Structures are given as structure tokens and as C-alpha cells.
Amino acid sequence: MPLELTDFDQEILDGAHGGAAAFAMRLLMRFAEAVAAERFLDIEAAHVDGCLYLGRASLDFVERMAGLGGKVRVPTSLNVGSLDLIHPELFLGADEIRKAGARLMQAHVELGCAPTFTCAPYQSVYRPRFGAQIAWGESNAIVFANSVIGARTNRYGDFIDLCCAMTGRAPAYGLHLSENRFASALVEIEGVPDGWEAERVCVAVGHAIGRRCENLVPAIVGLPAETNEDNLKALGAAAASSGAVALFHAVGLTPEAPDIGTASGGIEPQMVLRLSADDLAEAARSLSNAPDGAPLAAVTLGTPHFSIAEFARLTPLLQGKKPRVGIWINTSRATREELRARGWDKTLAAAGVTLVVDTCIYVTTLTPRGAGVMMTNSGKCAYYAPGNLGVDVAYGSLAECVASARAGKVVRL
């Protein structure tokens, strides 16, 4: 079936809504043809992952849109940029990247995007409703919106997320359509290592399913009953780093999976993955390339951006002796405001915590380069930091990260 345009699509293409929207529609059409979509559908929101400066190409693209006088047509949040615009002094990279990165963020705001600069827009006022058609970029946000909220987006890469925002339209294919949202893989958790809290189980499961299920839709049976939203966030972020998972169902926990029959639509899974306690322990171990006891340079938390609930779990752990190494936490501007309103920012500063907003520590040059290991409770950060930053990483639970910061070396609890 060829791609069918509505009168509105045709108007955009013909330039009736400006040159930027026409350029966006031209790219969207070629994209839609490539993914074999037959039509476009309306979206109610977009999340654009184009603010990270990766080189000239990302800036040239948005400058062309801005140069054509474009504005987004739907409420649009922005993903992280290359630097913290509120604390620019934290940036230790090259001046050229600082300037180009700041311009890239500003150019998106000129297009009418909201300066949220967060990879966790789902924990902000931009959280979509169940069933909403949206066009989101940023792999962890995509998997969260689809899985934990039940909103509908494909894995939009940068450029296309902005094209959807500029037109208010997205190709009707993939996870926008009900028939593609059923589970195609079954993941059974047969056991968990002794003493493991839901936090660690979820990261290990996420890392394992990403590596094994690639871009299938896994239905996970057997997650701990106390699994919370932030645990599912960590699971999705890990699965979307080690694999291309855009939607998972946690049976009994996520909205499209009250039971396995509903999650699978009665369709036989293409693969069955059974995870034992040993498999989970191995998955967690493989996220560290630094040995226990190694000296620490820093602890980093908040990949994806730390939520208020995560700060609430962290602050009691910080009571007592001040950590010997600094703790860096990535979060959103909005969450930082909330921390100030609650007076928690002072508690955090006293414990040696540096808050980083607008960006994420693993994508940019922030931490002082010293000898030692970076420790994190994020499967995603542990996955990417060695390649991005050239550091050795230790993965551990939140409590282990704090204990290690205090001890100045990697400690296991």
C-alpha cells in the first residue's frame, strides 16, 4: 500500500504552514515509506532528543529548521544537552563544544520547544496520559512511556522526533498500533540472589533482556511485588542500552499487562528466556569492569534523571559521616526546584553532593579526571560510561554507592 496523505499533510508538504514544516514533512514521508507506513496520525506531544552536541550535523539540522522560521505544532519537551546551562562552570570540555552545545539547546527553544532538558520527561508535567499517541526520542523515555504509562511511541531517533513535533504528525506504524503491542517474548524470573532488593533485580533483568531479546516485546513474569516506578525506569533504561527494547510488559505491574494472556494477546512467544538467580548475579557482575575494593574517583547517580522519590530514598542514606569522594547526581531543572522548595538541597550539599541539571554525566565532560573508578547504580550509565568517558565503572545498588563514596573505594553490602 502506498503512503496516503490527508489534505492537511498535503498542505504542510506544499508549504502552506511554512518552509520548516514542509522540510520536516518531506523527511517524514521518506521515513514513512521506508518503514512501510500507510498513513500518518495526529500526535499530542513530542519529546525531542536533539540537544546533545555530537558534531556539526546535529546543529546544522536544527539551524536549517530555525532559519526557515519553524515552530513546533504540539507541546514539545527537550532531552538533555551537552552542558548544564545553569552551572556552565561544571563543563570541562573544549570551548568549541561548549559554544556549539549551548547554541544547539537555544536553537531548539527558538523553535518553541520547552527548555526541560531532561531524559525523564515522564516524571514531569510532560508525562503523557495512557493511550496517548506521542513521538518521543531518547531510548529510556521511549521504553518508559510505552511500558510504564501505556502511551504510544516508536523509537524515534533524533531528527524525526523534531519532524513529528514540527508537523504534529507521525507515521502510523509499529507501536502506535494496538496489534504490535503484544508481547513477543516471555521472560520468566525463576529466582533472585539472596538479599537483593527490587532495584538490583530490575537493573539485572533489564540488562539481560536487552542483550537477549533485542527489539522483541518482552513480557516479564516474576518481578518483586514491591517493584516501584523508578525500578521499572531503571529496568527499561538498561534494556534500551544493551538492546533495542522499546516496550516491555511487567505482568501485574504495567498497565497493558494485568495478566500474561492480556499482555501476549494469546499469541505464542517467539522466544522464552528463563532467568535464574545466577543469571541475574552474572548480569549485575558484568556491568562492572572494576574490581571490588578499587579506589573511587566519583559516584554518579541519576541516569536517567533522579526523581524526587529517588532523592527521598537517598537522603536517609546520607546521614552520618560525610563521603570521602563526591557524589554527582543528574536531575531535571524542575526536580531541582522541588528540592529547593523542600530544603533538601542543603542536606545534599552538606553531604558532598553536586547536582547536575540539563545534561547527564555520562555524555559530557564534567567530573574531574582523577585516578579511580566511577561507581553508579544505573545499568545504563555502567553500560555507556567506559566507551563514552574512557573510565572504569563499578555498578552497585544505591546503598552500595553511598557506602562506597564514604569508604573511598568499591564496597559491597
- Nearer residue to another protein within complex by CB, 20 or 351: 20
Listed in sequence order, the residues at least 6 apart from 122 whose beta carbon sits closer than 8 Å to its beta carbon are 128, 141, 144, 145, 148, 149, 233
- Residue 279 CB, shortest distance to another protein, in Å, is 17
Cα–Cα distance measured from residue 330 to residue 206, given in angstroms and rounded to the nearest whole number: 21
Listed in sequence order, the residues at least 6 apart from 248 whose beta carbon sits closer than 8 Å to its beta carbon are 143, 147, 209, 217, 218, 219, 220, 235, 236, 239, 254
- Nearer residue to another protein within complex by CB, 153 or 397: 153
- Nearer residue to another protein within complex by CB, 58 or 231: 58
- Residue 23 CB, shortest distance to another protein, in Å, is 8
CA diameter of the chain: 66
CA distances to 49, 98, 331, 355, 390 from 90, rounded to whole Å, are: 22, 11, 14, 10, 19
CA dihedral 139, 145, 147, 150 (to 10 degrees): -150
- CA triplet 30, 31, 35: central angle to 5 degrees? 120
- Nearer residue to another protein within complex by CB, 59 or 109: 59
- Residue 139 CB, shortest distance to another protein, in Å, is 5
- Residue 365 CB, shortest distance to another protein, in Å, is 15
- Residue 134 CB, shortest distance to another protein, in Å, is 13
Cα–Cα distance measured from residue 141 to residue 209, given in angstroms and rounded to the nearest whole number: 17
- Residue 337 CB, shortest distance to another protein, in Å, is 27
- Nearer residue to another protein within complex by CB, 189 or 246: 246
Cα–Cα distance measured from residue 406 to residue 399, given in angstroms and rounded to the nearest whole number: 11
- Nearer residue to another protein within complex by CB, 245 or 403: 245
- Residue 161 CB, shortest distance to another protein, in Å, is 8
By the criterion CB under 8 A, which residues form the site for another protein?
27, 30-31, 34-36, 49-50, 52, 54-58, 60-61, 64, 137-139, 142, 154-161, 214-215, 240-244, 289, 383-384, 386-388
Listed in sequence order, the residues at least 6 apart from 391 whose beta carbon sits closer than 8 Å to its beta carbon are 297, 373, 374, 385
Q: Are 281 and 211 in contact (CB under 8 A)?
A: no
- Nearer residue to another protein within complex by CB, 24 or 251: 24
